[in-house]
Structure 1
Amino acid sequence: MIEQYNNQVLAFSKSFADAAFKVQGLALQNFEKIADLQLKTFENRANATAAFVSEALEVRDFDGLKAIWPKSVSLAKESAEKVYSTSQEVFGLGIKTSEALGELAKTTFAATNETLQNQANAFKKAAPAAPAK
């Protein structure tokens, strides 16, 4: 009886460790995707800003300022749109990851429930019949 209990605890511990390993893997994949996405966005916007600043430094008169003003507005608009787009992608990745984690939890709980049901059925079969009164 104790050996069955020990085997059951060992099986649940293994199941828990496997599930934790999968959760960690999913979380790290999501973190990597988000970091990569944000880094690419930052790099893109930094390059665009550097190009604009180098052009703006060449302005020497009011006419040059009038010519570069629409480019500054365009840069600000593009940057805001890109940041919004990136935040939407990050949000989408978060949703996909949470759905994957939910599915993992569902399958883990289902497997654990099935194991418990099988163990309960095995104990019922192994238990001696109650004496009749």
Structure 2
Amino acid sequence: MSEYFNTQALALSKSFADAAFKAHTLAVEGLERVTNLNLKALETNVAATVDFLSEAAEVRDFDSLKTIFPKGVNLVKDSAEKFYANGQEVFGVTVKTGEALSQIAKGSFEVANDSFKKQVSAAQADFSKQVNGAAKKATR
């Protein structure tokens, strides 16, 4: 009887280890995608800011300041829009990763449940055979 429980525990442990490995892989891939999105956004924002600052460094009088001021406002507006869009993309990646992780967990529990049911059925059948055999011997 303990053989069935040991086999079940081993199968359950293997199943959870496989699920944990898959979940870890998905989490790392999601983190990689989020990092790439953030780095690309940072790169474009830094490039735009450097261009603006190099142009702003050439301002020497009030008329030049009047022409560069709208560019500065436009830079801030574009940066805020890109920041918001990047946040939405990161959120989308996070949601997709979470959904994939929940599917792995659900599948792991279903596999464990099915395996447990098979082991219990086999144990019940074996136990029934033993009881029936013992009952037949007792009646002889």
TM-score, length basis structure 2: 0.89
Deviations 1:22-53 (A, max 9, x none): 01000000000000100110011001000000
Deviations 1:44-84 (A, max 9, x none): 10010000000000011111000101100000000000000
SS of the equivalent of 2:58 reads coil
Inter-partner Cα distance in structure 1 for 2:107 and 2:29: 20
Between 1 and 2, higher relative CO (CA 8 Å, sep ≥ 6) is seen in 2
Larger radius of gyration: 2
- State the 4+ residue runs in structure 1 displaced beyond 6 angstroms: none
Greater helix content: 2
Percent sequence identity over aligned pairs? 49
Deviations 1:70-102 (A, max 9, x none): 100000000000000000011111110111111
* RMSD of aligned Cα (Å): 1.3
Query: What is the aligned partner in structure 1 of residue 127 from structure 2?
Result: 127
SS of the equivalent of 1:127 reads helix
1:80-119 matches, cutoff 5 A: 80-119=80-119
- What stretches of structure 2 of length at least 5 have no aligned partner? 136-140
TM-score, length basis structure 1: 0.93
Q: How many residues align?
A: 131
- Do 2:4 and 2:123's aligned partners in 1 also have CA atoms closer than 8 Å? no
